[in-house]
Structure 1
Amino acid sequence: MPGPSASAVHVASFDDLDAGTSYDLWRLRQVVFVVEQECAYLDLDGRDREPGTRHVWVEDDGVPVGYLRVLDDPGHARIGRVVVAHSHRGRGLADVLVRAALDLVGDNPSVLDAQSYLAGWYGRFGYVATGPEFLDDGIPHVPMRREGGPLPA
Structure 2
Amino acid sequence: MEIEIKQFSELSTEELYQILQLRSEIFVVEQDCVYQDIDGKDQKALHILGKKEAKLVAYTRCFNSGFYFEEAAIGRVLVKMEERKYGYGHQIMQASVKAIKDHFKTENIKLSAQQYLIEFYESHGFSTIGEGYLEDGIPHIAMVKTP
| TM-score (normalised: structure 2) | 0.91
The answer to whether the aligner puts 1:55 opposite 2:54 as a matched pair is no
Quick one: distance in 1 between partners of 2:27 and 2:109? 22
**Mapping 1:32-111, distance limit 5 Å:** 32-50=26-44, 53-74=45-66, 75-106=70-101, 107-111=106-110
- 1:102 CA displacement: 0.8
1:47 touches 1:71 (CA, 8 Å); kept in 2?
A: no
Residues 70-122 of structure 1: CA deviation (Å, up to 9, x unaligned) = 01131421100001111101211010000001111224200001111111111
Structure 1 alignment gaps of length 5 or more: 149-153
Higher percent of residues as helix? 2
Q: Describe the SS at the equivalent of 2:131.
A: coil
Kindly report the root-mean-square deviation, in angstroms, between the aligned alpha carbons of the 2 structures: 1.1
Q: Describe the SS at the equivalent of 2:90.
A: helix
Which residue of 2 is the match for residue 151 of structure 1? none
Which residue of 2 is the match for residue 27 of structure 1? 21
Quick one: distance in 2 between partners of 1:101 and 1:55? 9
| TM-score (normalised: structure 1) | 0.87
Quick one: distance in 2 between partners of 1:71 and 1:47? 9
The answer to whether the aligner puts 1:133 opposite 2:132 as a matched pair is yes
Residues 28-59 of structure 1: CA deviation (Å, up to 9, x unaligned) = 00000011111111101111001xx2100111
Quick one: distance in 1 between partners of 2:85 and 2:8? 28
> AA paired with 1:111?
K
Q: Count residues with an aligned counterpart.
A: 140
- 1:26 CA displacement: 0.8
> AA paired with 2:83?
H
2:64 touches 2:100 (CA, 8 Å); kept in 1?
A: no
Quick one: distance in 1 between partners of 2:14 and 2:120? 32
Structure 2 alignment gaps of length 5 or more: none
